[in-house]
């Protein structure tokens, strides 16, 4: 069997005008023509699978995947019911759906398949499948958008999907059913009066399409949060589909992009974009976050699950002390000099430097992590094992341990935690950890009142999630 | 024609788990009970209204989400299968509901006169949202009263909680006027939860009550604060604190139901009756009745 691959990706609009009323407005008609061109290209490509990520199907318990081989019903839009009804009968690849579900679980995601008579396929998926696969010749799968999913989770969802595409030798097309700017007019309008809701939305849409036209999909993925803030009404689902689509394309920035149409749909930005995997352009990528392979996020809210997960963790690694020594750089004794301040009560450095150094009225501390002096254990657990496999960890416990270590170093110098003036904090996973870190901060250093800067960085030298760089008032004594 | 009347206003939440746990013949999945505190609360609400005569139920559902103004179901009958897209394992309900189209049209017309964007929904293929059906079933399992079903205009998403409230208070005011002018006796219902942070996992047996609790202490505090206001007739404070509540408790009042309800009741200063409180997959849910029939003078 040949290896599976992604033959192409498409971004398509969700509202039903392209199916039900393309003749009522020239723009709607142009979107429909672009949809028809995309359908022809998909047919000509020889694809044997359509994979749809739909923003109009929100989910709460992980991601859901349609696994009913032949879902049939009549779809009526919640807002645009006056345009009419869309009867549908789709050809779903049940086997692929189950395999994707299994692959999700292997990569740490919550996931389930859905195969119930009368399940309401969402408007975005109905419109996309009706127009891209008019004869139902190519089997499809549809996945929901989880309302709580972050970028790591959405990226891993794509990787799990590609695991199955590759393993089963499929020739797949990835499709995101979505709006660009999603602000609609809040009153009924005449079809002829349709336009993008505002100049600002239009400008942002054009910038996104310029990047996509240059094949810079990962750049759009990295801008997702900014785009969401700028031109997205906070509906249930944020601007996540570009994370998924970029994940499906191995986070590439050098695809061959083509914008087939861009028009307004009741004020929202609708576009049909084709992204071909043929390399073009520079492909320059600036990673702003980790490229996550396995999701170890906060999906263990129920107590029982937490216990199960805890047992997994415990059986997975030896005592934390050994772990760190095998799992990170060698430990050093702190360097000594005239102005240095070192403490037996602080963890050993990972290089030739002192714990702190006094200059005039100020005390400069080397970066302080959560490792425990003596044992080198990491409170809250390490972030990965010695093979680099991610582990669940407790950011609050790690942050508290950092603050405790800072306290020890300052006390050794004859001062107290109240002397801290300025802190630079480094987090390896801002999305996951900022809130927990911030809570501990508020209870500890937040009460002291230093200035603070928090940065996301790719990694720290030991398997820890947080480190702080501190400047403090030097104590008068000593 | 005699003057119309709002006989009661209710906060009556709609997580499909409640219908699932009741095992009515209309719902396909089978449960081993669960969420009894809330189901007993609904029982008390039904008992409280058992001897009260009324003609129709006017209900605002947060799961018919409309972005182009407010919509009203506008045909006399809707019959279909409702499958919850989020919890399809729990809710696949065969419904057959009657609409009081006349009253819906009257509220619609007054809202239009007041400058609100409104639409009558007349597509017979339309599938009624599971929220309206869950609350409709739990409130009146016999389905022997016609409904007016009002969509949730997502103005909060477009603007802010403040603007949403302005619009919903106006919609509540015209709803009240239309009911009083209609000569009908009506129960008004907002179908929403309070704090609305879900667990992101579901236990193997969804009705396993050993797993059910509020998602965080902060959510609990907000829910109890709101319930205190319900019970002590402080509706104005609820409206005043709605922006903070909605944002901090991620409350389902974002759909406008609660603001609309309190406005239809003329912002009651008499106590509401708490019939029940419980959590569902972590979200906070209260069943509350404002017995408006006993406080007519207060609102005249
Ligand atoms: Fe809800």
Same domain, A29 and A155: yes
C-beta neighbour count of A226 within 10 angstroms: 11
Helix (H) or strand (E) holding A443: helix A430-443
Which CATH number does the domain housing residue A467 bear?
3.30.1330.40
User: Which residue did the predictor score with more confidence, A315 or B47?
Assistant: B47
A62–B201: do the CB atoms touch at under 8 Å? yes
The answer on pLDDT for B158 being more than 60 is: yes
A140, A194: one domain: yes
A244 shares a domain with A101: yes
What is the structure's pLDDT at B297? 59
Domain count, chain A: 2
Tell me the mean pLDDT in the region A393-411.
91
pLDDT of residue A478 exceeding 60: no
Looking at the fold, whether A218 and A344 belong to one and the same domain comes out as no
Distance from CA of B241 to the nearest CA of A (A): 21
A300 CA distance to ligand 1 middle (Å): 22
Residue A289 falls within a domain, yes or no?
A: no
Domains annotated on chain B, with CATH: 5-298 (3.40.830.10)
Cα angle value B229/B231/B234 (rounded, 5°) = 40
A300: nearest CA in chain B? B201
B185/B152 Cα distance (integer angstroms): 23
| CATH assignment of the domain containing A214 | 3.40.830.10
Sheet holding A356-359, edge to edge: A340-341, A356-359, A362-365, A466-473, A420-427, A451-456
**Which of A244, A276, A308 is a domain's end point?**
A276
Task: Enter the tokens of residue A166.
Answer: 């590759």
Do A139 and A58 fall into the same domain? yes
A57 and A114 both lie in a single domain: yes
Query: Is B85 near chain A, with CB under 8 Å?
Result: yes
Residue A365: domain span: 322-473
Residue of A nearest to B202 (CA): A61
pLDDT bracket for residue B98 (50, 70, 90): very high
Residue A154 lies in a domain: yes
B201·A301 Cβ contact <8 A: yes
A293 lies in some domain: no
Query: What is the rounded CA–CA span in Å between residue A173 and residue A140?
Result: 9
Same domain, A200 and A264: yes
Task: Return the residue of B nearest to A148 by Cα.
Answer: B200
Q: Is residue A282 part of a domain?
A: no
Query: B152-181 as b/e, with b when 16 or more CB fall inside 10 Å?
Result: bbbbbbbeebeebbebbbbbbbbbbbbbee
For residues A255 and A129, state if they share a domain.
yes
CB contact under 8 Å between A305 and B201, yes or no, is yes
Contact between chains at B200 and A188 (C-beta distance less than 8 A): no
Strand partners, A87: A74
Using a CB–CB cutoff of 8 Å, tell me whether B141 touches chain A: no
ipTM over 0.95: no
Ligand 1 center to B219 CA (angstroms): 16
* Residue A102 shares a structural domain with residue A165: yes
- Asked whether residue A173 is assigned to any structural domain, the reply reads yes
Q: What percent of chain B clears pLDDT 70, i.e. is strictly above it?
A: 98
DSSP letter for each residue of A265-313: ETTEEEEEEEEE-S--S-------S---SS--SS---SHHHHHHHHHHH
Render pLDDT for A72-125 as a digit per residue (tens, 0 to 9).
Answer: 999 999 999 999 999 999 999 999 999 999 999 999 999 999 999 999 999 999
Give the nearest partner residue to B200 out of A61, A114, A235, using CB atoms. Answer: A61
Q: How far is B168 from chain A (nearest CA, A)?
A: 15
CA distance B23 to B91: 10
Contact at CB, B211 and A185, closer than 8 angstroms: no
Computed over every residue of chain A, the mean pLDDT equals 88
Q: What is the C-alpha R_g of chain B?
A: 18
Q: Which residues contact A159 (CB under 8 A, 6 or more apart)?
A: A107, A247, A293
pLDDT-based confidence at A329, cuts 50/70/90? low
Q: Is residue A374 exposed (0-12), middle (13-18) or buried (19+ Cβ within 10 Å)? A: exposed
Is residue A325 predicted with pLDDT exceeding 80?
A: no
Cα–Cα distance for residue pair A453/A468, rounded to 1 Å: 10
A3 CB burial (10 A radius; 0-12, 13-18, 19+): exposed
Q: Which residues of B touch A81 (CB under 8 A)?
A: 71, 121-123, 126
Return the top range by mean pLDDT from A455-464, B32-41, B157-166: B32-41
- Do A111 and A218 fall into the same domain? yes
- Is residue A395 situated within a structural domain? yes
Residue found under tokens 């996301």? A456
> What distance in Å separates the CA atoms of residue A391 and residue A165, rounded to the nearest whole number?
27
Domain boundary among the residues A216, A250, A276 is at A276
The angle, 0 to 180 degrees and rounded to 10, between the axes of the packed helices A430-443 and A395-412 is 50
Residue range A179-203: mean pLDDT, rounded: 94
Domain match, A83 and A228 both:
yes
Residues A210 and A340 in one domain: no
CB proximity B126 to A under 8 Å: yes
CA of B14 relative to ligand 1 center, distance in Å: 6
Residue A132 located in a structural domain: yes
Min distance B179 CA to chain A CA atoms (Å): 25
Do A324 and A463 meet the contact criterion of CB atoms below 8 Å apart? yes
Q: Between these two residues, B193 and A297, which has the higher pLDDT value? A: B193
Segment A351-370 shows an average pLDDT of 89
Give residue B130 CA to ligand 1 midpoint distance, Å. 9
pLDDT for res A287: 65
Residue A85 in any domain: the answer is: yes
Say how far apart CA B285 and CA B13 lie, in whole Å. Answer: 6
- By CA distance, what is A237's nearest residue in B? B157
Band the pLDDT of A282: cuts 50, 70, 90.
low
């Amino acid at each position: 069997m040949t290896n599976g691959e992604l033959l192409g990706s498409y971004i398509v609009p969700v509202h039903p005008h392209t199916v039900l009323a393309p003749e009522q407005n020239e723009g709607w008609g142009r979107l429909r023509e672009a949809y028809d061109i995309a359908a022809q290209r998909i047919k000509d490509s020889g694809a044997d699978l359509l994979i749809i990520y739909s923003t109009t199907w929100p989910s709460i318990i992980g991601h859901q995947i349609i696994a009913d081989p032949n879902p049939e019903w009549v779809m009526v839009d919640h807002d645009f019911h006056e345009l009419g009804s869309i009867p549908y009968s789709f050809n779903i690849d049940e086997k692929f759906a189950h395999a994707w579900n299994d692959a999700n679980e292997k990569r740490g995601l919550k996931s389930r398949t859905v195969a119930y008579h009368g399940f309401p396929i969402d408007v975005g998926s109905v419109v996309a499948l009706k127009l891209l696969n008019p004869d139902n010749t190519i089997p499809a799968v549809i996945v929901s958008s989880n309302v709580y999913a972050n970028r790591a989770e959405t990226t891993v969802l794509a990787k799990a999907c590609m695991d199955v595409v590759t393993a089963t030798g499929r020739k797949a097309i990835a499709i995101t059913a979505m709006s660009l700017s999603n602000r609609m007019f809040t009153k009924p309008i005449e079809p002829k009066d349709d336009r993008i809701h505002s100049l600002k939305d239009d400008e942002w849409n054009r910038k996104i399409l310029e990047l996509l036209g240059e094949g810079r999909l990962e750049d759009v993925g990295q801008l997702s949060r900014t785009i969401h803030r700028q031109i997205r009404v906070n509906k249930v689902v944020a601007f996540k589909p570009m994370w998924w689509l970029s994940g499906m394309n191995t986070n590439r920035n050098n695809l061959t992009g083509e914008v087939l149409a861009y028009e307004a749909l009741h004020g929202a930005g609708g576009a049909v974009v084709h992204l071909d995997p043929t390399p073009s352009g520079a492909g320059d990528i600036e990673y702003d976050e980790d490229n996550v392979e396995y999701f170890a996020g906060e999906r263990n809210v129920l107590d029982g699950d937490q216990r199960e997960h805890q047992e997994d963790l415990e059986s997975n690694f030896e005592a934390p002390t050994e772990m760190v020594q095998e799992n990170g750089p060698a430990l050093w004794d702190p360097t000594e000099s005239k102005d240095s301040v070192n403490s037996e009560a602080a963890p050993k450095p990972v290089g030739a430097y002192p714990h702190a150094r006094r200059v005039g009225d100020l005390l400069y501390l080397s970066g302080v992590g959560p490792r425990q002096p003596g044992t080198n254990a990491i409170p809250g657990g390490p972030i990965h094992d010695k093979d680099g496999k991610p582990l669940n960890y407790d950011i609050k416990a790690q942050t508290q341990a950092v603050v405790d270590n800072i306290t020890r170093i300052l006390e050794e110098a004859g001062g107290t935690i109240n002397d801290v003036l300025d802190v630079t904090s480094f987090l390896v996973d801002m999305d996951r950890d900022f809130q927990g870190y911030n809570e501990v901060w508020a209870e500890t250093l937040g009460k002291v009142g230093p200035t603070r800067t928090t940065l996301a960085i790719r990694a720290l030298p030991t398997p820890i999630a947080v480190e702080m760089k501190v400047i403090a008032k030097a104590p008068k004594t000593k | 024609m005699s003057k119309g009347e709002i006989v009661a206003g209710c906060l009556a939440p709609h997580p499909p788990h409640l219908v699932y746990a009741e095992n009515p013949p209309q719902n396909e999945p089978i449960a081993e009970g669960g969420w009894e505190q809330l189901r007993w609360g609904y029982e008390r609400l039904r008992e409280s209204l058992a001897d009260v005569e009324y003609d129709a139920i006017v209900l605002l559902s947060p799961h018919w989400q409309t972005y182009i103004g407010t919509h009203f179901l506008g045909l006399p009958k809707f019959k279909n299968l409702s499958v919850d897209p989020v919890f399809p394992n729990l809710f696949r309900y065969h419904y057959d509901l009657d609409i009081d189209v006349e009253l819906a049209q009257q509220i619609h017309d007054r809202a239009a006169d007041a400058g609100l964007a409104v639409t009558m929904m007349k597509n017979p293929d339309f599938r009624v949202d599971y929220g309206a059906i869950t609350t409709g079933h739990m409130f009146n399992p016999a389905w022997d009263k016609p409904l007016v079903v009002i969509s949730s205009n997502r103005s909060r998403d477009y603007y802010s909680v403040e603007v949403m409230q302005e619009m919903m208070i106006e919609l509540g005011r015209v709803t009240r006027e239309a009911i009083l002018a209609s000569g009908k006796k009506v129960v008004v219902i907002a179908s929403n939860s309070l704090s609305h942070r879900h667990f992101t996992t579901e236990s193997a047996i969804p009705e396993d009550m050993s797993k059910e609790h509020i998602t965080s202490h902060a959510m609990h505090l907000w829910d109890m604060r709101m319930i205190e206001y319900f019970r002590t007739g402080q509706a104005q404070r609820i409206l005043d604190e709605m922006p903070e509540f909605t944002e901090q408790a991620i409350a389902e009042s974002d759909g406008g139901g609660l603001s609309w309800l309190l406005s239809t009741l003329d912002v009651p200063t008499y106590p509401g009756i708490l019939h029940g409180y419980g959590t569902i997959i972590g979200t906070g849910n209260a069943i509350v009745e404002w017995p408006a029939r006993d406080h007519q003078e207060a609102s005249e």
